[in-house]
Every structure is written in C-alpha cells, then in structure tokens.
A and B are shown apart, each in its own frame.
Chain A
Amino acid sequence: MSKCRIPLGPFHPLLEEAEFFDIKVEGEKVVDIEMETGWMHRGHEKISETKSYTQSIFLVERICGICSTSHPFAAAHAMEDVDNVEIPERAQYIRIFIGEMERIHSHLLWLGLAGHFIGYDTLWMWAWKYREPVLQIFEKVSGNRNHYAMFRVGGVSRDFDNALIPEIHPTLDMLEKKMLMIAGAAQDDPVLRSRLKGVGVLTKEAAINYCATGPTARASGVDIDVRRDDGLEYDLVDFPVRVLHNGDVYDKLVVRVLEIIDSVNIVRQCLEAFPKVGGEYLNKVKHISPGEGIGRYEAPRGEVFHYIRSDGSNRPLRHKVRAPSFSNIPTYKASCVGIPLADALITLAAVDPCYCCTERSIRVVDKNNKKLEHNLLTMSREKTANLKKAVAGSEKTPIDRIFED
C-alpha cells in the first residue's frame, strides 16, 4: 500500500492553535509522524527582560490562556528562589486555592475538547457547563474569569474574602458529584470505552525517555508530581498522587478526572484553613539581589519550569521558560506510530498539548525555504551560559555596559 501524507495543520479543526503535524499513513494506519513547532512564537522571554519583576509575572500569565496561573506560580517561585523570600501562610493558602481551582477548570476544558475530538459533542458541552461555575468563582475571588493576576513576588496581590466560602462549597459538591458521574459513564459506556481503552499507549519506558510530565507521565506509571516532590506551599495540604499504569488515552482521562476530585478536596482544605489563618498576604519584596533562581510548579499539563537570572536591577536579565507541552508533545512519536488515524488524533489531544505555551522558538529557514538545523535546546543553554560568564562578578547592568561602550 502506498504511503499517503496527511498534513494535520497548521490550521485544522482538531487543533485549537496553529501547529503542524506531518502524518504519514498507509491506508488508515499511521506509519510516521513529524512535528513542526514555531507557528505561535510570541517572544515572551525577550519581552520579560524589558519588564520589571512584578510586570514580568503579569506578562508570563499571558503565556497560556488556559493554565494562566501556572506560569506566574513558577515565575514567582523562581524570583523568590533568588533571595529565599518567605511567603506568609495566608498567601500560601491563597496560591494553592487559585492553583487548584485552575487545575479543575483546565482539566474540565480538556475533557470537553477530548469529547469533541471523538465526536461526542454532548460530553463537550456538559464538561464546559460544569466549568462555568468555576470561572464564576474566579471572578468573585480575583475579579477576572481568566488571567487572575493574583501572583506577586512574596505573596499574592489580593486577599481572599472569607465571606465567599459558603458560596464556593455548593459548587465543589456539584463538581465532585458530576466528576464521579463522568468517571462512571466512562467506565460503563461500551462505545466510549472501545474508543479510548488501549488506544495510543505510551509505555513507562517511553514516558521516561521522552521526559513526559504531568498526567501524561502519571497515566503511564511514572510517579512524578512537582506539588508533592518540591513541597513548598503544597506541604500545607494533603493530597494523593494518582498514578495509573496502562498509558492509554483512557488512563489519561481517568487520571485527569481523579485529579479534579483531588483538587476539589484540596480546595476544601484551603477553605477550611482560610478563617483560621489570618495576617498578611504579601511580603513586600523591594529588591531582588544578583543571582539566579529556578521555580517549578505542577501545571495541569505537567511540570512548568522558570529560570530567572538577576543582576540586581529591577528586571530579569534572563527569563527562561519551559512549558510542560515541550516535553509532552514529542511523546507522539512513541504513542502514535502504528495505530489507526482516528486513534492517532485523539492520542494527539490526550496529552493536552498547549502549543503557544511551548513555542518560545521560531522556525529558521534560509532563502530557499530550507530548514536550518539548529538545536534550540543547546542554543538556549549556550545563551544562559554566556550570560553567566558576562555578568559574573559585575554589579553593573547590561544597559550600563552598553552606555559605557
């Protein structure tokens, strides 16, 4: 049978963002898949170098429209890591609250999209209906349905209004009930099961080799969760890490549904703690001393990593971001090859890829539209290393040095 090349993207109904997958099929079977990133480059890292630390946190919030709090969370961690800033306990609880509510709405959004991708539009609409009250809670708590602008270096920018607690509890109860219903439906519905069970298996070895993170890794039996592994704020609450072992789309769905239920429980713990824990919510940080800091956070899609290099000025000298999809998207190579096209597409969607978060790189082509081979990872490391050499021992900012020249 002859090979046929299916261009999936850059614009395709399956992808909510522009991304290009070059799928080679024999009949219906996928024999090879190639990914091409670089359609959504927005230059956040570079812009961040021109903003003050506080502005920078609001900037990285715009990296992802769905998990919009994960990047500020990690960036704040990185900035606090430079000086080991203490965070007030109330602020820690507020951070957990925002982070977990976001996990709920992000996973619900994925659940809906996954339903849409397999032609189950009812699941799509239902999941998004349950997501709506979560956004309304966000609006009450932070003033925004998305992009909550809650994070600052050293705490959060707004206090949590304890009067909202009775309003939030019914929503949590509803979410827990509906999630159990969806989990039951996924288990009982033979058509849904046949569509998801054993599809797009990512083995444990492949998940480790491709450095998969988040629910993608946990569904394949890799026991990682930055929330538990790093501790920090999350030492205040109790939660299990859900690990399943089949690595198929069905397990990825179950992991996410279980995590929604866990997040509901974490949010309940926060709500219990809020009346007891008073005091400050922001430890005002006036100055970030020269040095470097890293911050990690378990975003709904996996580990998000931020690196900050400070030279003592009020803006970062280097701000490096790695989104979870960066390591999750290449797992397609391991999970999509050899399965039918219809399954490959839901497998693509099952890692919950977030393309524009990932793409802090552009595709470089020469005059003949030929790709220039650049190892972007190496380039990025080189840039950071050169920077380190350049600023070592120097108290002056790069701008000062430019003026000296």
Chain B
Amino acid sequence: MLKYLFYLLVFPGFLFASVFGLIVGWIERKVSARVQFRVGPPFFQNFYDVFKLWGKEIILIRNTPYFIFVIAPIIAFATVIMTSTIVGMTFFYGVGIGGDLLFIIYLMVIYSIALILGASSTGNVYCSIGAGREMKMLISDELAFILVILVPIIQAGYKIDLTQILAYQSANGMIIGSASGIIAFIVGILCLQAKMGMVPFDIAEAETEIVEGPLMEYSGPLLAFWKLAHYMMYVFLPMLLVILFWGGMSFASFGSIMAGIGKYLLIVVLMILIRNTNPRVRIDSAINFFWKWASPLALIAVILAIIGV
C-alpha cells in the first residue's frame, strides 16, 4: 500500500512528473528559443511561473457554476498524475497494473473532457469557442491515437499490458523496427502533438485568435494546475511512445540508461521541432488531416500488424 502511495505521490507520480515536466518544459522553451535565434529563459523560469501562480488569487465569475469551474482543473490534474504513475511504473520499475493501456486511453479522454467542462462553465465566448475546438480535436485525434496503440497490442499477441508489450519487445526486437511499427510511431508523434495542444495543433488554445481559449478565465492556482498538467504530459506521453514502440528503458548498465534517456529526449526534441517549423492549422484542416490521412495510415499499420509485418 505504502509502495503504491509512493509511486503515486513521489516517484514516478506527482512529485517526479511535475518537477521533471517543468524541466522538460524548460528544454522545450530553450530549444524553441535557439531555433528562433533567441537566448531563451533561465533554467528555473517554469518553476518561478508555477510558484508565482500558486500565490495569486483565484478570480471566479459571478453567476456561473463555480463547482465545475474549480473541480475541472483538479480532475484533469488527477488524471495526469494517474497516467504518469502508470506509465512511469512500467518505464522505471517494470511493474504493470493490468489493462493499463485501456486505462490510459480513458484517462486521456477525461483530461480533455475536464478541459471542455471547465471552459464551458465560464460563459465566455473565447472559452466556448476554445471548448468547441477542443471537442473537435478530441474526436479527430482520438481514433488515430487508439489505432496507433493497437499496433503494439496486436504485435505483442493481443496483450494490453505495457509490461507484456515490453517483454515481447525484449524477446523479439523493437516494434519500431517493423513496417507497421514505424508507420504507427510517426502517426503517434502527430497524435501526441495534438493531445498536448502543440503547434500545429494548438487550435484550441490559439493565443492570437482566441486568447488561450479554454484557459482564458482561469487564474491563480487553478491556472497553475492546468499549466502543470500540460508540462507533465511532456513526461509521460513520450515515455509511452518509447515503451510502446522503442523497447522502453533498461537499467542493466549505464549505457542502456543513457540510451533510454536519449530515446525519450529524441522524441521530445522531434516534437519541439515540429512545433517550431509549422504554422497553426485550421480546425477543419486538422480534422481533415486526422480523418483522411493519419487515421487511414494508422489503420494500414494495424492491418500490417495483423498480417505480421
């Protein structure tokens, strides 16, 4: 019991994911800055930002359902902690809880729904447009994301445990080495981009269009929850891809640990570069992209996986 509490609250759950997430957030800002010929923020900038937000007041809007407004970021934060614990347990300890992939898919949807609920409760036009866009993003990337996850499940012999997928990979080679694996991996990175709301899929939050959209009315600690949850996604979503396609991380030797960190950082940097070399797409082109290109591509990967390529 105590062990699981430790998993949940310290490592790889809340404490680790938030601290490491803020550090990865710094990497993101620094790499973006270097791509854009800027210097970038100091190492502790994200920590300053979050701690400062913690000290600010919460502004509530009169005549709106406060309860949903306040509970939405907490629910979202909880789902993110749970997901990072599940992914981290497999990544660092090799322990699974059984059926964890299904659980992750559900939790990711709950995060989006919490965002939509929190935004809709404010009655602000920017928030409602942002919520609408978030909903459209959810229905556009969800299918592709599930199809991508199906590929390792099928390859590992219809196992939905992350540990079993890892075991399959250590026995039969990495899934990314197969044709279906590489296709699913590429689509998977784009899905992560959409899940995290990064350019080109930051349509829901589009700062210059709808002023941070769903998060517009949030302030103080509640905004800190959203921001922290966003940064924590940087920790576990690339880890999830490493586990599903790239054989996870092994603690056998120093070299293998470095290789694991390298794989993780490679995915993060790839996402940051995609973010920095693309403009924001329109919501209809995003839906078009996921339904006409990404999902069929992922479907082809699934069929290839069933054939066994």
Interface secondary structure of A, over-half rule: helix
Could you tell me the distance in whole angstroms from the C-beta of A30 to the nearest C-beta in chain B? 12
Which residues of B lie under 8 Å from residue A123 when comparing CB positions? 279
Contact bitstring B199-223, A, C-beta under 8 A = 1, else 0: 1101100111111000000000000
Instruction: Determine, out of B153-161, B282-290, B295-303, the stretch whose residues face the partner at the interface.
Output: B282-290
Which residues of B lie under 8 Å from residue A4 when comparing CB positions? 125, 128-129
Which residues of B lie under 8 Å from residue A122 when comparing CB positions? 32, 35-36, 276-277
Take A4-B128, A119-B200 as given contacts and tell me if A194 and B281 are in contact as well, using a CB distance cutoff of 8 Å. yes
Within 8 A of B (CB), among A127-181: 129
Measured between alpha carbons, how far is A299 from B43 in the docked complex, in Å?
A: 44
Residue A5, interface by CB 8 Å = yes
Which residues of B lie under 8 Å from residue A125 when comparing CB positions? 36-38
Which residues of A lie under 8 Å from residue B96 when comparing CB positions? none
Residue B280, interface by CB 8 Å = yes
Which residues of A lie under 8 Å from residue B111 when comparing CB positions? none
Could you tell me the distance in whole angstroms from the C-beta of B288 to the nearest C-beta in chain A? 9
Which residues of B lie under 8 Å from residue A395 when comparing CB positions? none
Residue B172, interface by CB 8 Å = no
Which residues of B lie under 8 Å from residue A345 when comparing CB positions? 208-209
Cβ of A28 and Cβ of B279 under 8 Å apart?
no
Could you tell me the distance in whole angstroms from the C-beta of A73 to the nearest C-beta in chain B? 32
Residue B278, interface by CB 8 Å = yes
Measured between alpha carbons, how far is A13 from B32 in the docked complex, in Å?
A: 20
Within 8 A of B (CB), among A17-49: 25, 27-28
Within 8 Å by CB of B281, from A25, A121, A191, lies A191
Take A126-B37, A129-B37, A342-B203 as given contacts and tell me if A191 and B209 are in contact as well, using a CB distance cutoff of 8 Å. no
Measured between alpha carbons, how far is A14 from B209 in the docked complex, in Å?
A: 7
Cβ of A119 and Cβ of B280 under 8 Å apart?
yes
Residue B132, interface by CB 8 Å = yes
Residue B69, interface by CB 8 Å = no
Cβ of B282 and Cβ of A126 under 8 Å apart?
no
Could you tell me the distance in whole angstroms from the C-beta of A76 to the nearest C-beta in chain B? 37
Take A5-B125, A119-B202, A121-B36 as given contacts and tell me if A340 and B282 are in contact as well, using a CB distance cutoff of 8 Å. yes
Number of B interface residues at 8 Å Cβ cutoff, please give it. Answer: 30
Could you tell me the distance in whole angstroms from the C-beta of B108 to the nearest C-beta in chain A? 23
Within 8 A of B (CB), among A332-364: 340-343, 345
Which residues of A lie under 8 Å from residue B36 when comparing CB positions? 121-122, 124-126
Residue A316, interface by CB 8 Å = no
Contact bitstring B254-278, A, C-beta under 8 A = 1, else 0: 0000000000000000000000111
Within 8 Å by CB of A121, from B32, B283, B284, lies B32
Measured between alpha carbons, how far is A403 from B183 in the docked complex, in Å?
A: 87
Which residues of B lie under 8 Å from residue A182 when comparing CB positions? none
Take A4-B125, A122-B277 as given contacts and tell me if A191 and B200 are in contact as well, using a CB distance cutoff of 8 Å. yes
Residue B168, interface by CB 8 Å = no
Which residues of A lie under 8 Å from residue B32 when comparing CB positions? 121-122
Residue B7, interface by CB 8 Å = no
Cβ of A13 and Cβ of B37 under 8 Å apart?
no
Which residues of B lie under 8 Å from residue A191 when comparing CB positions? 200, 278-279, 281
Measured between alpha carbons, how far is A12 from B211 in the docked complex, in Å?
A: 8
Which residues of A lie under 8 Å from residue B206 when comparing CB positions? 119, 342
Within 8 Å by CB of A342, from B125, B128, B282, lies B282
Residue B77, interface by CB 8 Å = no
Closest to A122 in B: B276
Residue B16, interface by CB 8 Å = no
Within 8 Å by CB of B211, from A13, A116, A342, lies A13
Could you tell me the distance in whole angstroms from the C-beta of B266 to the nearest C-beta in chain A? 20
Measured between alpha carbons, how far is A5 from B32 in the docked complex, in Å?
A: 35
Could you tell me the distance in whole angstroms from the C-beta of B63 to the nearest C-beta in chain A? 18
Within 8 A of B (CB), among A184-202: 191-192, 194-195
Which residues of A lie under 8 Å from residue B203 when comparing CB positions? 342
Measured between alpha carbons, how far is A119 from B284 in the docked complex, in Å?
A: 16
Within 8 Å by CB of B278, from A25, A116, A120, A124, lies A120
The residues of B with any CB-CB pair to A shorter than 8 Å are 32, 35-38, 125-126, 128-129, 132, 199-200, 202-203, 206-211, 276-285
Subset of 8 A-B contacts with CB under 8 Å: A25-B129, A28-B283, A116-B208, A118-B208, A119-B280, A121-B36, A129-B37, A342-B203
Other A-B pairs beyond A120-B278, A124-B36, A342-B280, 16, CB < 8 Å: A6-B125, A13-B207, A27-B132, A28-B129, A119-B202, A120-B199, A120-B280, A122-B32, A122-B36, A122-B276, A125-B36, A126-B36, A191-B279, A192-B279, A342-B206, A342-B209
Enumerate the 6 nearest inter-chain pairs by beta-carbon distance, A residue then B residue, closest first: A119-B280, A125-B36, A120-B279, A118-B279, A122-B276, A117-B208
